[in-house]
Amino acid sequence: MTSKKTIVDTLARLKKRFPTPGAMEFGDAYQSLVAVMLTARTRDEQVLKLLPGFFKAYPTVEKLAGATPEQIQKKINTIGMFRQKAKNLSALAKRVVGEYGGEIPGTLDELITLAGVGRKTASVILPYQFNKPAIAVDTHVHRVTNRLGWVDTKTPEKTEQALLALIPSDLSPTVNRVFVKHGRYICIKNPRCWACPVADMCAFKNKQLESPKDSEKIIADIDRREAELQLLREQAII
């Protein structure tokens, strides 16, 4: 079983490599929930670009509750599944206003009853908006933690269960923050182990440790993409 020291050291190294917040870590619980919902099958960059206009039109959940799905669609029609997302946002806002007094509920069981909010979405916002332990496992987190040898699981659902039992609750916010970025940029399908700050702590057998000729260009591109994402994130905060 992976030791706590290994977990702490691994996360510390990855946090040093990726020190910035997650792309959707901003604002209050309402803003965070809307942002994360909109990222379903959509790139973070696309969502971040539309958020300033969206929150200008609907700065509060009460304002959103007063809008029709058709009106909401016009603010999010640059992303995938915008019609269904608009319906979900409308239904969610009306329920939050009607049943929760305009306050986004702060438990997993309550959040997943809201339209368009699944377990992964709820688990993204619980740690940093409500200071509650949760780990959102997407394909990146599932792939990285299996390669590291922290878990031996076949599905993201099984990975979530294993990680919740393994990782100290105070470290759960860091897991999402660093593993998504690490999986997006370095621990990709054909892993860039030569650029990995935790390669020596990783159980993956088929490590790609030889740097390619264009390694400097690859690293520069990673840094550029992350900087652009953080700029969009800052611009989305209103």
Q: pLDDT for 206-217, tens place per residue?
A: 999 999 999 999
Give 114-171 pLDDT, tens digit per residue. 999 999 999 999 998 999 999 999 999 999 999 999 999 999 999 999 999 999 989 9
Q: How confident is the model at residue 236 (pLDDT cuts 50, 70, 90)?
A: confident
Q: What is the pLDDT of residue 237?
A: 74
Check if the beta carbon of residue 38 is closer than 8 Å to that of residue 45. Answer: no
Largest CA distance in the chain: 59
Q: Which helix (H) or strand (E) holds 75?
A: helix 69-76
Work out the pLDDT band at 238, boundaries 50, 70, 90: low
At residue 5, does pLDDT exceed 80? Answer: yes
Structure tokens at 219: 């690293």
CATH superfamily of 29-130: Hypothetical protein; domain 2 (1.10.340.30)
* Cα within 13 Å of Cα(169), Cβ side: 7
Q: Is 41 exposed, middle or buried (0-12, 13-18, 19+ CB in 10 A)?
A: exposed
List, by residue range, all CATH 1.10.340.30 domains of the chain.
Answer: 29-130
For 35: left if phi > 0, alpha if psi spans -120 to 50, otherwise beta; the answer is alpha
One-letter-per-residue 3-state SS of 36-48: HHHCCCCCHHHHH
- Name which of 83, 56, 59 is nearest 71 in CA terms: 83
Q: What is the mean pLDDT of residues 226-233?
A: 94
Evaluate if pTM is beyond 0.85.
yes
- Residue span(s) of the chain under CATH 1.10.1670.10 come to 4-21+134-236
pLDDT range class, residue 1, cuts 50, 70, 90: confident
* Average pLDDT score over residue span 11-30: 94
Instruction: Kindly report each contact of residues 124-130 with a partner whose C-beta sits within 8 Å and lies 24 or more positions away, as own/partner.
Output: 124/22, 124/24, 124/32, 124/36, 124/176, 125/29, 125/32, 125/33, 125/36, 127/172, 127/173, 127/176, 128/22, 128/25, 128/32, 128/173, 129/28, 129/29, 129/32, 129/104, 130/29, 130/106
Mention the CATH class of domain 4-21+134-236.
Answer: mainly alpha
Question: For residues 193 and 234, what is the distance between their CA atoms, to the nearest angstrom?
Answer: 30
DSSP reduced 3-state for 156: helix
Distance CA 207, CA 217 (A): 20
**Region 10-25: what's the mean pLDDT?**
94
pLDDT over 90 at 199, yes or no: yes
Question: Residue 44 — very low, low, confident or very high, per pLDDT cuts 50/70/90?
Answer: very high
52 falls in which pLDDT band (50, 70, 90)?
very high
pLDDT averaged over every residue in the chain = 95
